[in-house]
């Protein structure tokens, strides 16, 4: 397996534009997580899916952020409209099992810059 | 989510010396304690984990110790090498049904040659 695959690796966009980040989890994993990493706030969990169902989205900063998981092999994180303070590295991670008592495998991340 | 505090935020050691990073937590129901390493520009990766039924686990030069009474767990790296330089994160599953993984604030370890 190629691991968790995220695209794009880098994204530069203008303030106000819509941004869509994509993630393909490891085949067979049933839990998927979106994290945001910044120097100021570290690694923050944005949303957690289990069996394609959003379980906890309390970390989503505001209504401009939305995430979907239409099937077991694909998820998106959308920001609309984007703002400069959204600039960060966004990681997707997946694991097997209904809890996080097992290893979480991270994708390579998407570095988002909003200018 | 779970409250986890990680110290120190930065740590510099001479090559060959040991490094210790500590995390404290508040939820006594926690039973899984992983440590992740993130090299510059790369993704976090699990390096070692421990479950609550043991007090220590070793894997070559790294070890994790757990004190459930005091609610802290520590990462120990012995005979440090330059390639150990990275950011290290402890993590905890949250309490409740969601069980999302909450990360500590990270420790930037620098091994000086």
pLDDT tens digits along A94-112: 988 755 567 899 999 999 9
Could you give the CA distance from residue A100 to residue B104 in angstroms, rounded to a whole number? 15
Q: What is the pLDDT of residue B75?
A: 98
- B31-81 per-position pLDDT tens digit: 889 999 999 999 999 999 998 888 899 999 999 999 988 999 999 999 999
Contacts of A64 (CB under 8 A, 6+ apart): A79, A80, A81, A82, A83, A86
Contacts of A103 in chain B (CB under 8 A): 34, 46, 49
Q: Does position A48 have pLDDT exceeding 60, yes or no?
A: yes
How distant is the Cα of A103 from the closest Cα of chain B, in angstroms? Answer: 7
Q: What is the pLDDT of residue B95?
A: 62
B45, B49, B105 member nearest A42 (Cβ) = B105
Q: Does position B96 have pLDDT exceeding 60, yes or no?
A: no
User: Is the separation of the CB atoms in B89 and B33 below 8 Å?
Assistant: no
3-class state of residue A59 by DSSP: coil
Contacts of A1 (CB under 8 A, 6+ apart): A26, A27
Q: What percent of chain A has pLDDT over 90?
A: 77
Mean per-residue pLDDT, A22-47: 93
A56, A91, A107 member nearest B100 (Cβ) = A56
Residue A85 confidence class, pLDDT cut points 50, 70, 90: very high
Per the prediction, chain A carries an average pLDDT of 93
Q: Which residues in B8-112 belong to E strands, given as ranges?
A: 10-14, 19-25, 32-38, 45-51, 56-59, 62-67, 72-77, 86-93, 101-103, 107-112
Mean per-residue pLDDT, A61-77: 95
């Amino acid at each position: 397996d190629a691991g968790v695959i995220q695209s794009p690796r880098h994204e530069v966009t203008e303030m106000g534009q819509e941004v869509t980040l994509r993630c393909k989890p490891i085949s067979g994993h049933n839990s998927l997580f979106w994290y945001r990493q910044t120097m100021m706030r570290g690694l923050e969990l944005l949303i957690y899916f289990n069996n394609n169902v959003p379980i906890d989205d309390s970390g989503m900063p505001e209504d401009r952020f939305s995430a979907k998981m239409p099937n077991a092999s694909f998820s998106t994180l959308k920001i609309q409209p984007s703002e400069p303070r959204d600039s960060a590295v966004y990681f997707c991670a997946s694991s097997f099992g209904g809890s996080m008592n097992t290893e979480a495998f991270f994708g390579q991340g998407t570095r988002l810059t909003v200018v | 989510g779970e409250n986890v505090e990680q110290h120190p935020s930065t740590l510099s050691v001479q090559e060959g010396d040991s490094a210790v990073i500590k995390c404290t937590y508040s939820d006594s129901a926690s039973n899984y304690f992983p440590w992740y390493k993130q090299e510059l520009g790369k993704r976090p990766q699990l390096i070692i984990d421990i479950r609550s039924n043991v007090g220590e686990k070793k894997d070559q030069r790294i070890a994790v110790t757990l004190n459930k009474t005091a609610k802290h767990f520590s990462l120990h790296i012995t005979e440090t090498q330059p390639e150990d330089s990275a950011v290290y994160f402890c993590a905890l599953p949250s309490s409740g049904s969601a069980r999302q993984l909450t990360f500590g604030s990270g420790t930037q370890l620098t091994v000086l040659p």
